[in-house]
Amino acid sequence: MEELDTPVLDNHLHLDPANGRGVDAAREFAHLGGTHLLVVNKPSWQLGVEAETGMDFRAVFDETLETVAAASEVLDGRAWPVLGVHPGLMTRLTDERGFSPAEARELMQAGLDVAADYVADGRALALKSGRPHYDVSDDAWEASNAVLKHALSLGADRGCAVQLHTEETADLTDVAAWASERGLDPSKVVKHYAGPKLDGPTPSVMSRKEWLREAAERGDPFLMETDFVDDPDRPGAVLGPKTVPRRVRWLRSEGYDDAVRVAHVETPESVYGIDTEATLSRGT
């Protein structure tokens, strides 16, 4: 297979060594030419953590750090952790555990406070938050937006990017305005599972050929991702770990070399402050 002479970053995926493929998925990514990963912690309840306090999320975050360290060992670049609280926890708390939306908001914000401590001491690269992508009550929606705004404030305070899980949309100018109000550059807000066009934050484009072609032709900053969930019970839920390096080869074959550099070198540096070229030696 032809070697790729470029960094190849999957901006959003999950690795679950206990229940899924774990580092074997990272090894498969590397075998196809992938070099860098942003590994997002799985939803806390999927790892058996039913949090009562913000500190309870530490078990989820620490497990993710261990997985990231193991993944870095098999990559020619490295992996970084993105830590936070999945917005779906709002529903789990209110519908299944008897929390009011306000109580759920407080717990989720406390979990984000803990995640921000990991960013502050250099153990994590960025935060993850968002709001439900499905219908919820008005009170739950308001509480979820309060959690999201809190994450943006923490991103501004810690000087880090914030990845968001939100509803399907091409317009998040409301979120971009909230970021600006809190002192966070909207370009450092990243919508994961994005399409090729997004007003407001930076899109992390799901690596479907038609979406990538449009993103490449638009010429705006973008990232690429698979949202690999590493769940053997959902094998076809999203894209597999081989997808991003395969799509990079395809983009190059279509003449989109500049877009590859945008997605894998320039945008990672501007959004996260990471140098995917300088980190292309093992152990860096």
The tens digit of pLDDT for each residue in 206-243 reads: 999 999 999 999 999 999 999 999 988 887 678 999 99
Beta strands in 148-242 (DSSP E): 162-165, 189-194, 202-206, 223-225
The residues pairing with 83 across neighbouring beta strands, listed in sequence order, are 127
Distance of alpha carbon 101 from its chain centroid, rounded?
Answer: 25
* Structural domain contains residue 3: no
Q: What is the CATH number of the domain that holds 212?
A: 3.20.20.140
* Structural domain contains residue 148: yes
Check whether 283 has a pLDDT greater than 50: no
- pLDDT of amino acid 284: 39
Q: What is the pLDDT of residues 85-116, one digit of tens each?
A: 999 999 999 999 999 999 999 999 999 999 99
Per the structure, the complete domain to which residue 43 belongs is given by 9-272
* Structural domain contains residue 15: yes
Average of per-residue pLDDT values in the chain: 96
The residues pairing with 129 across neighbouring beta strands, listed in sequence order, are 164
Looking at residue 282, its amino acid is R
* Structural domain contains residue 279: no
* Structural domain contains residue 21: yes
Q: Which position has the token pair 């395809």?
A: 250
Nearest to 152 by CA among 173, 171, 175, 136: 175
* Structural domain contains residue 162: yes
The DSSP element (H or E) to which 278 belongs, if any, is: none
* Structural domain contains residue 277: no
Domain count, the chain: 1
* Structural domain contains residue 67: yes
| 194 HSE (CA, 13 A, CB side) | 28
